[in-house]
Amino acid sequence: MKINTGRGTIPLITLAGIWSISALNALPGLAVSPILGQLSVIFPHSSELSIQLLSSLPSLMIIPFILLSGKLTEKVNNIRLLQIGLAIFTVSGILYLLSVKMWQLVAVSALLGVGSGLIVPLSTGLISRYFIGKYRVKQFGYSSAITNITLVLATTATGYLAEVNWHLPFLVYLLPIISIILSFYLNIDDLPKPKDADVGDNVEPAYNTSYGKKGIQVKYLIQLMLFYGLATYLVIIVSFNLPFLMEEYHFTSGNSGIMISLFFLAIMAPGLILNNILDRLKSLTLFGSLVSIALGLLLIWISHAEWTIGLGCILTGLGYGVIQPVVYAKTTRIAVERKVTLALAFVMTMNYLAILACPFIIDMFKSMLHVHTQQFAFVFNLVISLIVAVFAYLKRNSFIYDDQLQ
């Protein structure tokens, strides 16, 4: 079976290889989550900081290595770089299974972040290399959907595995073996070159064009980074703060787990029909996405009923599920072809920065305002999302908010 890329066709197995890399983006830190409560018992002499490092260290390591990978794509074979990252990722999974001391788990977590950081920008960079135009936008949507459905499935699997043995959740880190095998079907050197007429599809222009001497429109890159980081921050509180809010509402932890799963499933959904969404909403796409996020946060805040909280999680997830692939698609249009992966790397670091910064931002403002209720995070982010939504409407014809991507 052949897949149309907009510049020719590729075998289905090549596309499967690209998709398999997208599936790995959600894995770092995932296996640790279901065993965090057990670790203080398994390792009674370990500090609280050591236990916290197991979940945060991969993200900390990912950030610099995403940028390093983005830069290396200009100078080294992208497939070899991908295979090195996948190999490090796989070795981390094996070492996790063999680790019996806390310092070993912490060290392997750092190694996992290195491997993941090397492959993250390539998951989107390869899409930009293989596909152009509406085919590229469609694949970014699929990539986002695959990342989030993998997150839901892997979270469920690790929860069950943790009940059998605390080592077993680390089996999910062996999934890169599949990607390593499929990577041998990726050969970007054989791709047909885009025609000179495809101005919006990353034909590499001379440096005297609007791309500048760096080959990247830096002003637009910074705007996309800030917007993507803000959007991630707005919605990630569902994952971080909803369990505490539902505890305040006297729901069980199982209820919050279901709600968070609905959130990630909702992020997945828009990616499957992204081109249709863009066709209908056009320049109001990101405005509509921000309104959806605001409505979702509002429902979570004002409601004490499970079904409305669930609806709020779905609306929040749907809004972000549109924003994520749209931002990736826009990023490919602000750089010459050989700089696209680097530009994507800068944008994708904002996802991890937002995740790391979110708890500190919420705690800082709670302390400043002397607020103790768990509702604060949702009210605070609701206000921000409404402000950004108004701005998105007023600037709907600007580069960031006008989504004429096809």
Structure tokens at 117: 């950081």
- Give the per-residue pLDDT at 404: 60
Chain segment 5-47, per-residue pLDDT in tens = 988 889 999 999 999 999 998 888 777 777 776 777 888 877 7
Read off the pLDDT of residues 207-218 as tens digits, 9 standing for 90 and up: 334 666 678 999
Would you state the pLDDT for residue 7? 82
Query: 2-186 and 218-394 share one CATH topology?
Result: yes
Is 54 in contact with 166 (CB distance < 8 Å)?
no
Contacts of 76 (CB under 8 A, 6+ apart): none
Amino acid sitting at position 276: N
* Adjacent-strand bridge partners of 4: 9
Residues 98-127 as b/e (b if ≥16 CB within 10 A, e otherwise) read ebeebeebbebbebbbbbbbbbbbbbbbbb
Whole-prediction pTM? 0.88
Instruction: Say how far apart CA 406 and CA 395 lie, in whole Å.
Output: 20
pLDDT at 195: 47
Q: How many whole angstroms separate alpha carbon 405 and alpha carbon 402?
A: 8
Tell me which architecture the domain covering 2-186 has in CATH.
Answer: Up-down Bundle (1.20)
Amino acid identity at 311: L
Domain spans in the chain, listed from the N-terminal domain onward? 2-186, 218-394
Give me the pLDDT at residue 189, please: 59
Q: Are 154 and 172 in contact (CB under 8 A)?
A: yes
**Domain formed by 218-394, architecture:** Up-down Bundle (1.20)
pLDDT in tens, 317-340: 999 999 999 999 999 999 998 899
